[in-house]
Amino acid sequence: MAFKLFKNGDDLYNQGDDLIKRGEYAKARDILQKSIDKEGGVDDVAAVKVALIDLSSRLTNPAAYRNLESKLKAVSQKQLEFGLTTFDRDALITECVLTAQKMQIMDATSNDSSKNEAAKQLQDLAVRYQSEIGDRNLIVLEIFKNDTTVTGMTEFYNLMAVSYEYMSDAVVWDNPSQAAEYQQIAMGYRQQNGQSGDANLARIRSYSCTSKCWLCGRVATGEGIHFFSAPADVSPALDKDDNGVAKSKPEGSTQIYICRACYSAVSNRSDEISQDYYNRAMAEMRAMEARLQAEIAALQTQISFARMNR
Ligand SMILES: [Zn+2]
């Protein structure tokens, strides 16, 4: 650089670094971008820092991780720093690859038919977190959340839990007992990860709960899926133990158990009845409106007739 009249790329780079240390990412990004424009190449560390700043506001966006990955691959330095954190380039590349995949699998999984496939992919990914990151903490969370508790291992447990929850969701319609078993495994992974697993336990209870339908007497397993409880007026004479293995109402409550078939038949019929009442009410309203219109028209005729004869 012949002139020092304007700041050169290195000066700008150092200024950008100071701003990052102060947490002023937006300003730092502008300055670093100027440094890249002046004399940066494709292998510019400033480009990595810009990509990191862009990631900071898009931590759940796979594209932001892929962008950072490509910038990291372009630099030759093995050790890099961002603010006060020093990190290994290759470790962050691995983290970007795995995180982008994780976000993508979880985003793409909406219906039950894709959940088994997603579960398989998540288990493969979990094993990669375990083997490729292991006990090391995730760099991105350390930099932006000051959190060093999330490691390759905690991600392994977390993803294994999610994968068994997906498998449970996929099978609960056909086989609630199997779904309960998957929830049991998911709970084990969550507990190894220091979580309570309460949500899993609640599902295990409802999926393994068996009842006898109060209406038809069929036995159904899986509360909220294959049978429901509904409010009912149960008189003391009716509320005696039915001596069966499966109960037809929860103990001491004013609810009864109804299997899905009975429940849907009753609610469909009740919808039809409501629709019928609605149609009749609307027809009567329309008839009344027509009568009123006729009376108004007759009155108007009388009024104009009276005016003409005044
Ligand atoms: Zn029934």
Mean pLDDT by 10 residues, the chain (310 residues): 56 89 93 83 82 95 96 94 94 97 87 85 97 97 94 97 95 93 97 95 93 93 92 86 76 90 95 96 96 94 85
Q: d(Cα 224, Cα 204) in Å, to the nearest integer?
A: 12
| Residue 210 CA to ligand 1 centre (angstroms) | 13
133, 82 Cβ separation under 8 angstroms = no
| Residue 276 CA to ligand 1 centre (angstroms) | 25
CA 84 to chain centroid: 33
If one looks up domain 1-106 in CATH, what number appears? 1.25.40
At 1 the pLDDT is: 40
Q: DSSP for 181-202, please give it.
A: HHHHHHHHHHHHTT---HHHHH
Farthest-apart Cα atoms in the chain, separation: 107
| Residue 244 CA to ligand 1 centre (angstroms) | 16
Q: Which residue has the tokens 């159904």?
A: 220
What are the DSSP E strand ranges found in the chain? Answer: 79-82, 85-88, 210-212, 219-221, 227-231, 255-259
Q: d(Cα 187, Cα 198) in Å, to the nearest integer?
A: 8
| Residue 173 CA to ligand 1 centre (angstroms) | 17
At 87 the pLDDT is: 96
| Residue 92 CA to ligand 1 centre (angstroms) | 56
| Residue 265 CA to ligand 1 centre (angstroms) | 9
Domain ranges of the chain: 1-106, 151-208
| Residue 207 CA to ligand 1 centre (angstroms) | 18
Q: pTM of the full predicted structure?
A: 0.76
171, 182 Cβ separation under 8 angstroms = yes
At 4 the pLDDT is: 46
| Residue 254 CA to ligand 1 centre (angstroms) | 18
| Residue 177 CA to ligand 1 centre (angstroms) | 19
| Residue 120 CA to ligand 1 centre (angstroms) | 36
Interhelix angle 62-74/45-56, rounded to 10 degrees, is: 170
Read off the amino acid at residue 278: Y
CA neighbor of 250 nearest in space, from 273, 223, 280, 268:
223
| Residue 234 CA to ligand 1 centre (angstroms) | 17
CA neighbor of 160 nearest in space, from 137, 193, 138, 117:
193
- Tokens, residue 36: 């890249």
Buried b or exposed e, range 195-208, using 16+ CB within 10 angstroms = bebeebeebbebbb
| Residue 213 CA to ligand 1 centre (angstroms) | 5
The answer for residues whose C-beta is within 8 angstroms of residue 238's C-beta and 6 or more apart is none
| Residue 233 CA to ligand 1 centre (angstroms) | 18
DSSP-derived 3-state class of residue 153: helix
| Residue 263 CA to ligand 1 centre (angstroms) | 7
Secondary structure letter of residue 5 according to DSSP: S
233, 239 Cβ separation under 8 angstroms = no
At 40 the pLDDT is: 62
- Tokens, residue 69: 């990955």
Q: d(Cα 108, Cα 118) in Å, to the nearest integer?
A: 8
At 3 the pLDDT is: 43
| Residue 260 CA to ligand 1 centre (angstroms) | 7
DSSP-derived 3-state class of residue 140: helix
| Residue 192 CA to ligand 1 centre (angstroms) | 40
